[in-house]
Amino acid sequence: MDFFKFFNRNNGTSKNLAKERLKLVLVHDRTNCSTHFLDMVKDDMIKVISDYMEIDESGLEIKLTKTKRDHDDASIPALVANIPIKKMKDRSRID
Amino acid sequence: MGEVIVITSGKGGVGKTTTAANIGTGLTKLGHKVAIVDADIGLRNLDVVMGLENRIVYDIVDVVDGVCRLKQALIKDKRYDGLYLLPAAQTRDKNAINPEQMQKLTNELKETFDFVLIDCPAGIEQGFKNAIAGADRAIVVTTPEISAVRDADRIIGLLEAAELSDPKLIINRIRVDMVKKGEMMNIEDMIDILAIDLIGIVPDDETIVISTNKGEPVVTVQNSLAGQAYRNITRRITGEEVPYINMEEVDGFITKLKKIFSFK
């Protein structure tokens, strides 16, 4: 693998930028998923979670990315959501 | 019974036609009987790349429409024993034939030829569907650019959906000097992203331009690096294991690095 190590020592070069951009665009291509679709998912998630806790809607981030599956290391799409919680709602009200 | 191999890419201008011409010629050089089919109806180019443009009488649409027999439309390349071209029609469009007709055509060709190569048009529409209809295997050509790799990824998905699994990858026009500087995606980057097996790496080489100008496939040019790359691909297609070219020597700057393409 000498060849690859030799070529891979560059970070922050244009090829890394190309690779990152490509990976991201392919996640969307492969899942056939638009930003509109993601917005719909986001709105529904806010609705569901708001029943249980108060969340910071402006700080909510949702994106599609790739992850390795545990058992065989295959690359699979993953939905990553970062949802800042302001405070938990009173549980007695939920039950 | 021969084998039908489609050469495809999604994006245009990555070197499908050049690849088809070179692999076809290379296979005849190994003693195989080869027919190359230009499936790019309306944008015929394989004829000029192969230097056979003055010999066309009938084309693929004539065969499908029954205007002539298949044998009459096949152009024999007199320079290379066993090499034939079935040209595309220039004045028609992709809808002039359908996948069933294409399948029938390739099945007929398979009876006489060891290899039938299909030069697929760019895009994912009717022309692509026609080109893959009768194929047993697929080769995907890409270049180290975001747009070409993205389209290759899409094509790989469509090939798998069409049950043409295990397509092989050719990375065309790689520039060692730029890869070394980190200004071009390297082989590993692209294999990692596309997750298919490699069958060839073709350097960006001016001998290709010169050969195409003359209408002589570069695979026959002995001292050409791209020619060597195509000769290797040809042998890999026939099942031989061929090591990858040492690209360092090509570059001329660092010749001391022993093994460059040492992956299996």
| Tens-place pLDDT, residues A48-93 | 998 899 999 888 888 777 777 888 777 677 888 889 999 888 766 6
Closest B-chain CA to A14: B183
Q: Which of B125, B120, B127, B57 is nearest to B92 (CA)?
A: B127
* Nearest CA-CA distance, residue A61 and chain B, Å: 25
Opening angle at CA B108, ends B38 and B128, nearest 5: 35
| Residue for token pair 């996948």 | B99
Identify which of B146, B157, B262 has the shortest CB distance to residue A22. B146
ipTM: 0.80
* Confidence (pLDDT) at B248: 60
Residues from B in contact with A at Cβ < 8 Å: 145-146, 149-150, 153-154, 157, 179-189, 193, 195, 257-263
pLDDT of residue B48: 97
Helix (H, G, I), strand (E, B) or coil at A72: coil
pLDDT in tens, B16-56: 999 999 999 999 999 999 999 999 999 999 999 999 999 99
Give Cα separations from B187 to A46, B72, B119 (angstroms): 42, 43, 24
Provide, as residue numbers in chain B, all residues whose Cβ is less than 8 Å from the Cβ of A11: 182
Question: What chain A residue is nearest to B189 in terms of C-alpha separation?
Answer: A19
Contacting A residues, span 4-63, partner chain B, CB-CB under 8 Å? 4, 6-11, 13-16, 18-19, 21-23, 25-26, 29-30
A40-78 burial, b at 16+ Cβ within 10 Å, e below that, comes to eebeebeeebeeeeebeeeeeeeebeeeeeeeeeeeeee
Chain-chain contact of B180 with A22 (C-beta, under 8 angstroms)? no
Q: Where do runs of H (alpha helix) occur along chain B?
A: 16-29, 46-50, 60-65, 70-73, 99-112, 126-133, 146-161, 176-181, 187-194, 206-214, 225-237, 247-251
What pLDDT sits at residue A11?
Answer: 58
Is the Cβ pair B149, A4 closer than 8 Å? no
Which two three-digit tokens encode residue B207?
């001998």
Judge: B193–A7 Cβ closer than 8 Å, yes or no. Answer: no
pLDDT given at position B262: 44
Closest chain A residue to B262, measured at CA: A1
- Measure B168 CA to nearest chain A CA, in Å: 19
Q: What confidence score (pLDDT) does residue A91 get?
A: 67
Q: What pLDDT band is residue B259 in, cutting at 50, 70 and 90?
A: very low
Q: What is the DSSP letter of A70?
A: T
The predicted pLDDT at position B215 comes to: 95
Average pLDDT in chain B: 93
Q: What is the pTM of this model?
A: 0.81
CA B70 to the chain's CA centroid: 22
**CA–CA gap between residue B204 and residue B247 (Å, rounded):** 11
Which residues of chain B have a CB within 8 Å of the CB of A14? 182-183
Selected residue with higher pLDDT from A95 and A80: A80
Q: For residues B219 and B226, give the distance between their C-alpha atoms in angstroms, rounded to a whole number.
A: 7
Tell me whether residues B146 and A1 touch, CB distance under 8 A. Answer: no
C-beta atoms of B186 and A26 within 8 A: no
Higher-scoring residue by pLDDT: B262, B75: B75
B78-87 mean pLDDT: 97
What confidence tens digit (pLDDT) does each residue in A2-61 have? Answer: 555 555 554 578 999 999 999 888 888 887 777 788 888 888 989 999 889 999 988 888
Predicted confidence (pLDDT) at residue B264 exceeds the cutoff of 90:
no
pLDDT digits (tens, 9 = 90+) for B115-126: 999 999 999 999
Q: How many CA atoms lie within 13 A of A1 on its CB side?
A: 4
Q: Across the interface, do A3 and B262 touch by the CB < 8 Å criterion?
A: yes
In angstroms, rounded to a whole number, what is the distance separating the alpha carbons of residues B168 and B185? Answer: 18
